[in-house]
Structures are given as C-alpha cells and as structure tokens.
Structure 1
C-alpha cells in the first residue's frame, strides 16, 4: 500500500467520527511512515494520541497486507506515560481505532497497578501496544530473553516528555532507549511534549547522541492557538499586611457562584494538605455539596482515584479538589472551569492546569486564580502577561547520574547478563552520559562486582559476577528479587498505609507525619476525621472520629519555589508598579498595600535592589528583596550570613520566602559595611556556599536517595518497608565511610554536585548576584515592618506557633503596625 492510500484510511476513519484531522496530525503520520524519529510539541487535549497511534497502525497494515486473516504476533509499540492515571485513557483511544479498522491489534497496560494474572498473560503473549511507565519498562528489561520480546518492536512513544526531562526518570528512559535501539532494529523513537523553553534540547536528550537517529529526526509543532482566559478572584476585603498561612479560605464564598455556574470544576491546590483542608471547609460551610464534590491526590487509594476520574468523565461530580495528581493529560471533556489556589510558581504548570478546562480543540480554557495572600495577586498579574507573551520555562536535563547507571547495569545483569564492550558505546551515546570517561565506566563496573574500594570486605555489595566468557551476570536469586523490588528513581519519604482497625485501606501518608503522633490523636485525611489507634509494621490503624481537629495531614513536598522565568516577570510587574502604572485589576486591588509600602519604604523598580532594616521587640530585622524564589533565597541568606560572620561576631536567624529573605539579629547590623565589603559578590561563591550552608548536611540527605537508587541501601519488601530513620542511618554510615576513606567515590561526589545544581540552584544564584551587582542598592531604614516584609516575618513565626496562636499574634502585630 502506498503512503497516500494509508493516510486516506485514517482520514476516512476521522470523517466517520465527524472529526477532521489537524495538519500537525497529518504531518506526524507522514513523518512516521517515512521512517523518521521526532518530537511532537502539542498542547493537552489536541488529539496527540491519534497523531502517533494512527501511523503505528498504518505501518502494521503496510507490512501485513493480509492483516484481516493473519495476525502477526509480537509487540509492535510501547507507549510510555509518566502517570498511571493516564493509561486507561490512552488504552481506550488506541483500542477504538484498532478495532474500527478490524486490525485485530490488542492494547494492554502494564504499571504498578497491573494484576499478577494480567502480567502472567502478557508473559505468555505480549499485547501489540503496551502502555507502561519508565519503571515498568525497566522491569521488563530484567526479564530473561527480553531481546527476543522486543525484536518485533517498531516504535516507542514517550508521552509527556517534558515531565520526565530534568528528572532521574528521564535518565532511566534514556538508558532504556539506548538498549532498545540495539535490540529492535526497526525502532522509531517519538516523544510528545507540551511547550517548554528548550524544545530542541529536549529532542536531543530523547534521541541521544547517536547520529543515525539525530540526522533522521523532525521537530513538529502543533500550531493550535488555544485561548487561555485568566481571571483573578480578588478578595472583597484586602488586608494591608499580607501573610501566608490562611490558604485563601477567606475567599471561599467567592468560588461558590463559579462552581454553581459550571458543569464540573477542578480546584487545584499546590499541596495535599491544602487539598484536604479545602475539601473539608467547602463541605462544612456548604453541606449541600455532599456527594457532588470529591478529592483526588496521590496518597488516596487507587480505587477511589479511579472512581473520581470516572465520575468526572460522566459528569456526576460538581467539583473535584485535586493536587498535581490530575495535572497531566487525563482527558476530561466535561470540565468547564479550573480554579488555581495559590501561586503555581511556574508558568508551564499553570498552563498545563488551564488546559484541563474545555478539553476540546478550539474552545477557550478558563482558569481562575485565587490568591492565598495579597502579594500573590502580583503573581496573578504577572501570569496573565506571561500567558499572553507565551513565556516558557526550560527543563534542565541531568548529567552523569551514576546512581541510575549502576541500577541499570544491575538490571541488565539480572536478565541475560551483558558484555561491557557492547553496553559502553550505547551508554556513551545517551545525552546524560555523553561525557562519561573510561575510568568512570570502569569504576561503575567495579562497583557492581566488588563493591566500591572501601566496601570490598562486604559480600552484599558484590552483586554481579563475571563468567568465563566475560559476561556480567547476577546469579543469586535473592539479589535478583531485591533488585527488582528496588527498581525506580522516585525516592520519597517512607510511606505508611492508613487502614481502618476493622480492615479497609484508606491511603498512604508519609512516615514523618505519623511519627509525630501518639495513639488517641485525631487527624483529617482523605476527607475523613480519623483517630490513630496504633502503628504496626508501617501501617497506621485508625477508626472514625467525631472530634473536631485542625490537624490535617501534611506532606513534605509542600514548598515549591518560583521558577526563574516566573521571577523575572514578577520583577517586571513590580517595575510597572514602581512607575505607578497600576494597569491591571490585580495591581489596582493592591493599592492600599503599595501605598503603605511607599509610606515606610519603596516598591523597587527593575534597576533597584531593596534592603529594609527596622527594629521590633524580636530584634534587628535586615530584609533583602532579590525576588528570585525561595531556594535561591535560602542559599543567598546563608551565604550572606556566613560572609558577615567573617567580618563581625554576630549571629542571625534566617527566614525566606519567594520574594526575599531576612537576617534577624539581637544587635544592629551596619548595612553600609556589608555593601562596602562587597559581600554580595560572586567571587569564591562555590567555596563560601559549601561553608555557609552546611552543604555536607544537605549532601547527606541527597546521598540517601543516591544510595537507594544505586542499590546500596535496600528499602524493604512489600508491606515490610524499612523505616526512613533506618534508611537514613544506613546511608549516613556509608556517607561517612566514603568521606573518611574514599573521598573520590563517584556516588559521594554526585551527592554534592546534585545539591549545588538542583537543590541550591547555584547557577541561578550566581546570575542573581550578577544582576544585583548592576542594580542601584536602596537601603531604607524603616520605623516598623513593611507590607513586603510582613509575609517573611510571619513565615518564621509559623515554625514556632500553632495556627490559632499565629493568627492571634498576627492580628496584634497588624493592629500595632496600622497605628
């Protein structure tokens, strides 16, 4: 069959559904059928599944003209999705097309949720299209004879590639593809990505450094201009001294008309605890929503999550309060409206969430922004401009992640074994390991066969043996089983299962939260008020409680930082305020705050760097405003405090948020001396950072993840997980051994490198300091706290006070400041 005939089959099918294929879909079909690899840049809800599944089926028809009578066995394509929640959606779409054309092609799912019986069935015969996650694909590479399984493979499609890029799951994917390129001679590699700033680089990372793939690749963009309407929910009463902490509930009444006016609304929160609180409060105040509102986040059990997703599809829910668990690709056409609670901290995340509404091509997406404190209205105003100007963040890929490489090599050794001389060129052809040296490669091989230099006396680190032919193999069944259980790169705090005493699984929560509680304590989780009865074997047994409590489950991932692009548009927004161009409803609403700020200090323009000092009964406050996001401020505050301590015998308490940071001391600090000594310089930045932030402590925490991923520390068997504190102490022991006896250990060095590159964002800190060096420094000696400094001060108080006491304290502070 000619290409034109194949394409007309697909077009006829589209017409039979009263659809019209988009030009980008047709371009992708043609490129795929010509044997190209590529990256498709398409927004959510634009029909990207059919852009790539259609040509995979057409290719099958071309190679098997008698497909109606004879079905060719073997896997044809793998569809990688980063989220299990997306797999059902993709399966339904793919199966519909395959069935309507009478191809006989089967579509199967293999994720952590797949039952044992289904896995056994797949082992006997693989489906034609397998939808899976990076972790499950890696598990397949540990099975014997995987090369025969994947020999018939013609395509791998990596969906939501922007989500995997810039994470170790992305590195895992790069390594899996490097192997499939060799064992699947007909392989075409395609990625699908939403818009990111570095699309070309994203394609390079996906295809690797292999010229065969790069020269024959295309980058296709779906030029679908989707209109996004951003509306801010402006509180009727605006506080003059904003503080972060009441999570926006004072605006709750203003969202009810929005919920009533839409068929279905998704309410996105940034954290799971915020999600729990909002769900509770809506039902408390508006009990008529009972049965019409649900909650969705990653810690709620699978059955409930699937029920909620299905209920959204068949329009039986009025609203769902969710976290990023519903961020990606789940195609909910009935959702009309999105409400974002609190600053999303990044433009891409905001657009992704906006795209969930009116999930139909051509329809505008409506997203409401609800500020949790007044300053976030500046973010809202800035976001509107970013959406208009199509500003996008980059995703920075990882380099030389030796922990992921070691895990991968053991996976290959568990299956059929490997010869290093065959695998080394494949690994070197990935983007992540393009810079690996022969010595580093040899170190990794020694590590899996002998343990590292200082661990050679311990047999448990000698996982891989070398047979007479020079093949690297795992022979121990126990090592193989423990390795399969540990595959993955997502290392979170140990999770505790929450179950009723009478049985019945509710969900999972992090160990650190339960660790702070004793039997009899009451907490809110998954929309229920529960009393802790006992904790046994990583299970929290609970019963329902009628007591009232403010103790809502909290999760460690609660504090996201502003992206660098978001910081920049925020500074530009303040510039228009500094020039008194209050030209957006958000900036107009903040008039009282800005007027008050200018009474005591200034609103800094783009070319100004503001420093405020004032005294309260707590001590001497020194507040700096780089507007660079909390991670950069954490590093900068530590750096500055350390440099000042070299000049003067003075100690500080540090506090920081997304807008600035505070050094609080019991004695006055001469800011002029700080400026004269050029303490905000980039000179000796790396050395001073290491000394200032106790980088060893941060690297220790990072090393725990590296130790788990590389298999040095075993996390435990299902239902018998090792406690986090034991994991921590095991990995700390190894960390100390390497520090004292093997300081050139690659995994030990990686912990420091990742701490600086990813935790402290050293590159971004350097750029911020370079920018400050060009700005005019404005030092304002204020009489009292300013509206800009208020959220930073109250953030520090939160660590010490319960939420009721904090609210009282803030009321008193506000009254004093308003005098």
Structure 2
C-alpha cells in the first residue's frame, strides 16, 4: 500500500509519474543511495522526495522523534523555495512530521525553537550542517538521520564546499551505516565520478538518467549585419533594439549576462530602448542587497516583471514558472552553463525551454552553433572534486572535536571514506592532527593554536570556550574574491583590479591599466604600488577584467564547427551569418581546425606580432603566452607585450626574433614545464595570496565578530605573516604545499595547460605571414589597444585596420 502513496498523490493532481521517478522510488525503497541526473524542470525533486516519504511512511505511529531527513542546498536563496516544494506532499502524506529551514538567514527565534527540538525534515546548507555537527550533542540530534538529499550536486562537486558535504556525510554514515543519500543534478559530464564522490569510494550507487521528452529550443538572435569582423563587443549596440523587440513579443524573460558590469549596461540599454518599461524590468546580481534580490525574485514568481537582467545569481534551482524564455547576452562559455540557464524557462515537466543566444561579436555566432551541437550530443563538462584539501580537513577535525569529541584512529578511517580523502596517508592525517593540537612546529608556543586536546577518556575535544566560539563563527569554505587598489607610489589611486592579475607580476614588470602603461613596484597588503616606466621591459600583459573562460569542451566544439567552414559547409543559421567573417579569415589566412594549429605573424610599426590560436580559453592562453615569451626571451633578451582571449593569444616583440623554434614546435615541449611555468610567472606571490584563503578555512586567521569584521587588508597581513613564518621555520608545513598545488592546479590550470601543449605538438602547424590583421588576430590587437588608447583613438585605429583588411580581402 505504501508504495502507491507517491502515485496516488500525483494522480490526485492529474499527474502521472515518469519512468525515472518510479526507478528512483524503487532504489530508495531498497535502501540504495544514488544520483539522479535529469533536465531542469523535469521533476527531480518529487522523484527523490516522494520516494523518501514512501520509505518512511510505514513507521508504526507515523511519527518519528528527532531529525530524520536532511535536504542540502548550495544557496540560501534556494532553501525557501525548496521547503515550499517539500511541504505540500509532506503535509498530505505525513501530517505528523514537521519541516524547517536552517541557513545563515534563519531568524534567531526560529533557531532557538530548533535548538529545543529539531524538525523531522530540515532544509539547510553545507555550512549550517557543519555547525550542527559542531554541537556537543550532535550524535543525539543527527544520529537518527536516515536520508540525505544534496540538491544541485554539480554546483558543489568541484569545490571545497563539496568536500565539506563529503566529510559531513562520512560522519552521518558512521552514526547510521544504513544512511541513504541522493544527489540531484541537471548538468553533469561524468555521472559515475559524481555519484562516487557523493556516496563514497568503494560504494555502488545507483545512477538514474531522467529521460523526459521536453522540448529544448536553442536558437540565436542573428544580427542584421554581422560583417567580416570579430572583436569583442562590436555587435553589442546593434543588438539593443532586436533584444527589446524579442522581450516585447515574449512573456516573462530572463536576460543572462556573464559579469555584473555587463548586466548593469544591458539593464540601462533596455530602459533606453523602452522607457515605458520602468518598474517592469529589474536587475539581479550578487552585489545587490538581499532585500532587492528578494523583491526581484518575488516579482518573477508572481509574473509581475516583464524581464530581469541577471548574472549567475539566478542560475540555480529557484522555480520561476512564469518565465517563458531566456536570452543569453554573449557566449556562456560552457555547455553545462548554457543548459542550466536554458532550464530557467519552461521550468516544469512538459513545458518548452527556450534559450536565445545574443552574440556580441561574430565569433560568438560560431560558438552558438558549436554549443547547440554539443548540447544535442550530451557533451557536458566534467567536474573534478578537490584532492585532499588539508585546510578543510583541519577545520573538520576541530568541528568533530566540538561535536562530542573523537578517537583519532576511528576518524582517520572515517575521513578516508570521503571521496576526496580516499588516498589520504596516515602521515598526512597525523600532521593535520598535530597542527590542530599544537599549531605545527612554529606555533607551539601560542595557546590560541592549541585547539584540540585529549581528555581523560582519550577523546579529542576543544578545551577552550573562546576557541570554540571563534571556530563556529568561521565554519565554512566560501571565500570572497578580493580586489586590490592600484596606486602610484606616493600618489593618487588609479582604481581597483582583480588580485589574481597583480599576483602574477614581478617588481619591474609593466602592464596596461586605465589607459596607461604602468610599472609594478611592490605589493603591500591589498595595495599594488606602480609608477610610470621609463621604458617597457619584460612581458607586458594587458588587464582584461574578470571574464568567464571558454571551457575545454566548448573549445573542441568550436574547432569542430570551424572544420565545417573550412570544408565549405555552412549548415547552421549562425554559420551562414558568420560566413563573411569566416571566408575573410580563409582568404587572408587560414581557418583553424581540430587537426591544425594556426600561427599568424605580422610586422608593424609596433614590432613583430605572432598570433597563436589553440582555442583553449583565456586562462590557459595567459599561461601559454607567458611561458612562450619566457622561453623566447631566455634565448635572446626581448620585450614582449601579451594579449589573450578565448581563442588565442598574441606575442608582440619589440625586437624581431626568428620563428624557427616556434614553427618547429620546440617551444611546445613539456620538458621542464613546471620549472618554466613557475619561472615565467610570479608563482610564489600567487601562492602567498592563495594561502590567505587556506589560512582562513584552516582557522589560522579569524574574520572577526558580528559587526566587527576584519578587512581584507588585515586578513592578508595576518596570513602573510603565517606564510613567512611557516616557510622559514616549518618547511614541512603541508598547508604551504597545498597553496602551491592549488595555484598550479586552479589558477595556472597546469594540467589543462600541459594537455593543450600536448595537443599543439601533434597538430600540423599552419603558418601564415599576414599582410594585414585577420578576423582572428584583430580581436587580440583590440584587447591590447583598449587599455592604451582613448575611445576616439581606438575608433580611428580600427577604421584604418578595417579598411586595410577590406582592401586585402577583396584582392
């Protein structure tokens, strides 16, 4: 009888369960954990939730003391919507059970009620779950949890927050070995890996692929005149009116952009095009205050708003049923992100989801065709869980010591049951224990870093109430990005820029910012001091702001579409629109393909230009450009200006140099790759900056009490001091090693860089000496000019270059 509960509940609403929902119900009834992968709006929530309700409904009294089900969501904003979705079936099928919310936004009065008695079902976040684990009676409160659901698992999987979830689940499984855990996702490239990471190494989780017929329309708003050119943003202005007309013809529309500044610009563009929409269109991004975002989200749910311009702040799971379509301004740069955003429209089974791409340059027309082909083929990006981050482990050990204490041998085995720590050695674990107990070799004399101690019963506990309070206030792994002030030495402030860019520079390096060539002098706390250089020297990168990078999957898809054009085939509407640009590229140079590496060279009054087009994304290209410039200058001193975009990079040499080593592929060798990458970039300063995040998570630095937060400058000063002390007096400190590893893996993407070099070595190099800039090389020059020239000067320079390109292409 109880197995029919879910079907009966759906039938009462005129719905029939899908096959994948029934499959999930069977697995949950059998006590099996797993992962459900299905498109957004297909019914994932009810698949798992109704299965859990059925599984627990057979209890004799229909009630259960204490907490039984945890529903973990990655965002506070999702928690309220999730609770509403769970509440209706719960009240109908298990009326004796209660449901509660516990996030950072939960009012203190509600927290106090929960402290007296937790509900049977709790919707929470990874951070709030860790706080529950830190309570002295954690086992009594959480030991009865029988089911855990992790929503939007793809969002957590590749981050330290996902590791935090893994460790929490490992603890809950110790208390209840029969624990059933399920992950939900719509955009995973490797289901097997994602399921193992959730359910633990050695487990055999069920993997359910939800196949529901749901119309997904991906089309492109074609510009009236794409032209032969492809520099970033050149189509933006002419797309203003077409976008406004599309919104006018549609119901509620979400307009996604990739960065906040672009969202602000498009919000103003729409108001300029339609002043009568004031009050009917809104803006949503993470820098807006919570009350404003709540107002916008409520307006979307109620259908009061005509359109909302948003960033990734609206990417995830909040259900906005009135939304009929999504417009994506520019490329979303990843297949999974595009699919996620498409699912924001028609967010219900049987409704059509539609996403319309709005290109901002002609190359994004090619990306549009590529992403649609990749989505149809199910080619999504994979996400790799972090490999044994010791800062998260140190935080977790102190959490467990607060949550009733632990025996170290048992916890070692428990931690190794979390996927990210499956290869943790006993030596690494013992180091983490010693670091928690004594602060490592260099902090032994400071009681504040003696955070855990063994009691009379042999349990490791936190003996100091002040340490306990500070730890609970610092639980979590979310660390906000920092911006640095750029100031003249002894003079005026020029502005702010991302820390990651400045951290790559060495004193003496020059770069372009705010229309000026600047020489980097020093970095003190959160201020980068610069001066006007007497001459440019070394490599000269151009600051480009924080932009999403093309994923490896998207890069391959774009090259495959380029192959079609190279073969003279233009089957997609986007390729037909991009045909003038692609044909101009073919006439002036070549079209890159999966099997060829296009290298273009050009002489100008500026010097010798070399353009290389691997299509590996801007982050990899910055590493490649720095590496190749360093290798070239090692043989013969030279000054290189660097420019990168998602499709390639430019090396501009002040002095001519021979291309032999480059064209023979010798510069692409991976021998001494790590040494050369570290030498070409200021990796030690990058590691110092990365250590601030690690120090915060590991509890070395305290972010401050409520109302008295410590500034980023104070945190950097404190963590920088620890970094120097550890390097000098504690050479074996594994947190230093972790900082260096994370810089290589995450900021320099050394694995992807090495893979790109390997691909470049086997590709056939096609070298073209250009008479004038090509459609692929011009955007790289424009990126460099933007910071050097005023808008008027840039316009004049572009006019001259475009006239030259037109003349050359029509010969």
Give the alignment's TM-score, normalised by structure 1: 0.89
Q: Partner residue of 1:688?
A: 676
Aligned to 1:131, the other structure's residue is in SS state: strand
1:219 pairs with 207, 210, 213, which one?
207
Q: Deviations over 1:65-116 (max 9, x none)?
A: x33xxx4321110000111222122211211111123522211111111111
Which shows bigger deviation, 688-697 or 404-413?
688-697
Equivalences for residues 602-613 of structure 1 within 5 A: 602-613=590-601
Instruction: Quote the residue 1:529 is aligned against.
Output: none
- Counterpart in 1 of 2:19? 23
Query: Counterparts in 2 of 1:784-799, with a 5 A limit?
Result: 784-799=772-787
Q: Provide the residue aligned with 2:278 in structure 1.
A: 290
Q: Aligned equivalents of 1:52 and 1:360: distance in 2?
A: 16
Between the two proteins, the alignment pairs up a number of residues equal to: 755
1:455 Cα offset (Å): 2.5
* 2:531 alignment counterpart: none
Contact 2:498 2:546 (C-alpha < 8 Å) held by counterparts: no
- 1:159/1:772 CA distance change after superposition, 3 Å: same
Matches within 5 A, 1:567-578: 567-578=555-566
CA–CA distance in 2 between the matches of 1:330 and 1:495?
30
- Cα offset for 1:318? 0.7
How far is 1:801 from its partner? 4.8
Residues 35-114 of structure 1 aligned to structure 2 (within 5 Å): 35-64=31-60, 66-67=61-62, 71-101=63-93, 103-114=95-106
User: Offset at 1:46?
Assistant: 1.3
> Which ranges in structure 1 are unaligned for 5 or more consecutive residues?
497-509, 515-537, 539-554
Give me the TM-score of the superposition, normalised by structure 2: 0.89
Partner of 1:187: 179
The answer on 1:206 being equivalent to 2:198 is yes
Deviations along 1:736-761, one digit per CA (max 9) or x if unpaired, are 33333333311111111112222222
Q: Is the 8 A contact 1:410 1:464 kept in 2?
A: yes
Contact 1:153–1:186 (8 Å) recurs in 2:
no
Rounded to whole Å, the distance in 2 between the matches of 1:401 and 1:372 is: 39
2:636 — aligned with what? 648
> How far apart are 1:286 and its partner, in Å?
1.2
| Matched ranges for 1:282-431 at <5 A | 282-431=270-419
**1:146 to 2:138 alignment:** yes
**SS in structure 2 of the partner of residue 590 of structure 1:** helix
Partners in 2 of 1:619 and 1:273 — Cα distance?
34
Q: Structure 1 residue aligned with 2:759, among 766, 771, 784?
A: 771
Describe the superposition over 1:690-739 as per-residue Cα deviations: whole angstroms up to 9, x where unpaired: 21222222222222211111111222223322221222232222223333
CA distance in structure 1 between the aligned counterparts of 2:665 and 2:379, rounded to whole angstroms? 37
**1:795 counterpart SS class:** helix
**Structure 1 residue matching 2:387: 3-state secondary structure:** coil
- Structure 2 unaligned runs (5+)? 485-494, 500-525, 527-542
Q: CA deviation at 1:816?
A: 5.3
> Which of 2, 13, 16 is equivalent to 1:6?
2
Q: CA offset at residue 470 of structure 1? A: 2.9
2:381 aligned counterpart, secondary structure:
coil
Question: Does 2:242 correspond to 1:254?
Answer: yes
Q: How do 1:437-476 residues align onto structure 2 when only pairs under 5 Å count? A: 437-476=425-464
* Other-structure match for 1:582: 570
Q: Contact conserved, 1:743 with 1:749, CA < 8 A, in 2?
A: no
Tell me the residue number matched to 2:750: 762
* Alpha-carbon distance between aligned partners in 1 of 2:749 and 2:434, rounded to the nearest angstrom: 32
Tell me, yes or no, if the aligned pair for 1:653 and 1:663 is still in contact at 8 Å. Answer: yes
Please give the alpha-carbon distance, in whole angstroms, between the structure 1 residues aligned to 2:146 and 2:186: 24
* CA pair 588-344 structure 1, distance change in 2 beyond 3 A: same
CA deviation profile, 1:139-196 (whole Å, cap 9, x unmatched) = 1111120110012211010111111111111100011111111123542111112242
**Residue 150 of structure 2: aligned partner:** 158
Q: 1:332 to 1:228 in 2, by over 3 A?
A: same
* Counterpart check, 1:115 vs 2:103: no
Distance in 1 of aligned mates of 2:757 and 2:2: 58
Give the distance between the partners of 1:807 and 1:88, measured in 2 at CA.
49
Q: 1:148 to 1:289 in 2, by over 3 A?
A: same
How far, CA to CA, are the matches of 1:300 and 1:804 in structure 2? 33
CA distance in 1, matches of 2:483, 2:117: 34
Query: Once structures 1 and 2 are overlaid, which stretch shifts more, 805-814 or 169-178?
Result: 805-814
CA contact (8 A) 1:134 1:172 kept: yes
The alignment's C-alpha RMSD in Å is 2.3
Alignment match of 1:719 (pick from 707, 715, 719) = 707
Deviation at 1:403, TM superposition (A): 0.6
What is the DSSP-based 3-state SS (H/G/I as helix, E as strand, rest coil) of the residue aligned with 2:391? helix
Equivalent pair of 2:326/2:344 in contact (CA under 8 Å): yes
In structure 2, relative to structure 1, the CA distance for the partners of 1:147 and 1:340 (3 Å cut) is same
Deviation at 1:806, TM superposition (A): 4.6
Q: CA deviation at 1:818?
A: 4.2
Displacement of 1:238 in angstroms is: 2.2
Partner deviation per Cα, 1:632-677 (whole Å, 9 max, x = no partner): 1111111111111221121212111110011111111211233347
Cα offset, 1:362, TM superposition: 2.5
- Aligned-pair distance for 1:472? 1.9
Secondary structure of 1:369 counterpart: strand
Q: Distance in 2 between matches of 1:16 and 1:556?
A: 56
**2:491 corresponding residue in structure 1:** none
